[in-house]
Amino acid sequence: MKDIHQLTPGEIRAIIRRGKWDKPTAGLAMGYAQANLVILPQKYAFDFLLFCQRNPKPCPLLEVLEPGEFRTKFLSLEADIRTDIPLYHIYQKGKLRHTIKEIRSFWKPDFVTFLLGCSFSFEEAMLRSNIPVRHIEENKNVPMFITHIPCKAAGVFHGPMVVTMRPIPSEKVARAVQITSRYTSVHGAPIHIGDPSILGIKDLRKPDFGDPVTIKKGEIPVFWACGVTPQAVVMKARPDLCITHVPGHMFISDLLNEELAVL
């Protein structure tokens, strides 16, 4: 078998579909956008779509499928959402019940699929501009923090915004803002630069999720809205059923990151 890192998105999805890859997708199909997955029964779909519309920074929608539809039309013309993600979590009333490699037997005709942008896209653009991405350098997960900034509620969905933090050298902060601003559909510009206490974050060494990273002298903590926000909000609402990807095990699309850039 060829090294998976040299394969196209379609080839990688075919391997995943056959159950031959259940590991994280970071570093695969470089240049192509990856997406977060949330599947909800139709009765929650309007509220969740509205939640995403009101909170586009943490919840940047890339594609939403019609009720019952499991084939994408925008992110790929030949993907099957029931099989093409390496690993799925199935939650009932907010409790994790199953972690499985495909969800065909769980599929119901009222399921609505939401695919949301992921920060992999803008991190690649940062690296190309020689802006350091510390957790990649240190081979860690990005540090994530629950802030005290409330999202705009919609129906049953509400909760605080979760953010990621990347330490950026002072002289490169403006450039980091410019670059990530281009990618509005993958979290966009930072929501906060500097003093973490204003967000209600007490200690940058103790993230709520992910790993702490080194902040060097002359670096400023920069905060972006995080795709964990919608998952946290959905869990809190305890829907009868919810299916998500397992963190880091994303949907790999046929869309280039550059196709997501606005300017």
| Residues near a second copy, by CB under 8 A | 42, 45-46, 49-50, 53-54, 61, 64, 66, 73-74, 152, 154-155, 178, 181-182, 184, 188-189, 262-263
Q: Packing angle between helix 228-237 and helix 45-54, nearest 10 degrees?
A: 140
Q: Whole-number minimum distance, CB 140 to a second copy, in Å?
A: 30
CA angle (57 as vertex; 52, 58 as ends), nearest 5: 70
Q: Which CB atom, from 15 or from 149, has the smaller least distance to a second copy?
A: 149
Q: Which CB atom, from 41 or from 212, has the smaller least distance to a second copy?
A: 41
Residues 1, 189: Cα–Cα separation, whole Å:
40
Q: Which CB atom, from 86 or from 239, has the smaller least distance to a second copy?
A: 239
Residues 206, 199: Cα–Cα separation, whole Å:
14
Q: Which CB atom, from 78 or from 110, has the smaller least distance to a second copy?
A: 110
Residues 140, 166: Cα–Cα separation, whole Å:
12
Q: Which CB atom, from 8 or from 178, has the smaller least distance to a second copy?
A: 178
CA dihedral 23, 74, 224, 184 (to 10 degrees): 160
Q: Per DSSP, which regions of 170-240 are E strands?
A: 192-193, 219-225
Burial 179-202 (b: 16+ CB within 10 A, else e): bbebbbbbbbbbbbeeebeebebe
Q: Whole-number minimum distance, CB 108 to a second copy, in Å?
A: 17
Residues 112, 242: Cα–Cα separation, whole Å:
10
Q: Which CB atom, from 78 or from 137, has the smaller least distance to a second copy?
A: 78
Q: Whole-number minimum distance, CB 262 to a second copy, in Å?
A: 6
249, two tokens: 């095990």
Q: Whole-number minimum distance, CB 47 to a second copy, in Å?
A: 9
Q: Whole-number minimum distance, CB 134 to a second copy, in Å?
A: 25
Q: Whole-number minimum distance, CB 74 to a second copy, in Å?
A: 8
